[in-house]
Amino acid sequence: MVSRQGAIAVFVKTPGYSPLKTRLAADIGQQSAEQFHTRSARAVQAVVAAVSKERQVVPCWAVAEPTACDAPLWNDFTTIPQGAGGLGDRLAHINQSLLEQHAFVIFLGADAPQLSKEILLEAIDLLDQPAEPPRFVLGPAADGGFYLFGTRVCLDEQLWNSVPYSVNETSSVLCERLQLLGAVHQLSRLTDVDTVTDLPALIQELLQLETRLPAQQQLLEWLQGDDFSGKV
């Protein structure tokens, strides 16, 4: 039976289980890159947890490594494995798995920690009621990717795999594919972090938040701290 609740899946990798933030690590070192990923994921988690108190949504971690689903780092939410294959395969797997039990699903990246409650609430409210034709929600990233995707329908694996990932056209191609199926609502553009050159924009977007949750404030102070600021 499908629940009326939606699901929010935060996509993460686990330090020590697989390489992560490799382009960022090339500039700031593996340890700092892993710390950024963990702190950033905690900031996104805080936003999702706050929103889950206001809307009927179930939060979960979508974990890249099956053997890391019980890692202590991910104890706060339910964990589900992303599945095998490339990013398109994994997005298709999570899309199908969660919509078997939930009315809608929202995917979030863990590297846009300046996500606000307002943006996430906007996405939820757009998906909370059925629409014909279907309605999709997309949060475009400054580098051409996307930090948020939401849907009430299961997109087939072929569509997910027809999108080129980690390129400037990722978001625009996905939007073109979705527009053949329904209406696409685009949210505010945010910077997601892949390289050290993304960090100044992230800091500015964190500073511009009307309200920063404690985990977002802690990340900001870490980025501005003496041990890290020289790398930005």
Q: Is the pTM of this model over 0.75?
A: yes
CB atoms near residue 185 (< 10 Å): 14
Q: How far apart are CA 165 and CA 214, in angstroms?
A: 32
Confidence bin at 132 (pLDDT 50/70/90): confident
Q: How far apart are CA 5 and CA 143, in angstroms?
A: 32
Query: What does the pLDDT look like over 33-50, one tens digit per residue?
Result: 999 999 999 999 999 999
pLDDT at residue 20 tops 60: yes
CA-wise closest residue to 160 among 38, 149, 152, 168: 149
Query: What does the pLDDT look like over 182-223, one tens digit per residue?
Result: 999 999 999 999 999 999 999 999 999 999 999 999 999 999
- 11, two tokens: 């996509």
The whole-number average pLDDT for the span 147-153 is 96
Cβ atoms of 5 and 57 within 8 Å: the answer is yes
Q: How far apart are CA 230 and CA 141, in angstroms?
A: 25
Confidence bin at 73 (pLDDT 50/70/90): very high
| Residue whose tokens read 């191609």 | 173
The whole-number average pLDDT for the span 46-68 is 96
- Where along the chain do its domains lie? 6-223
CATH number of 6-223: 3.90.550.10
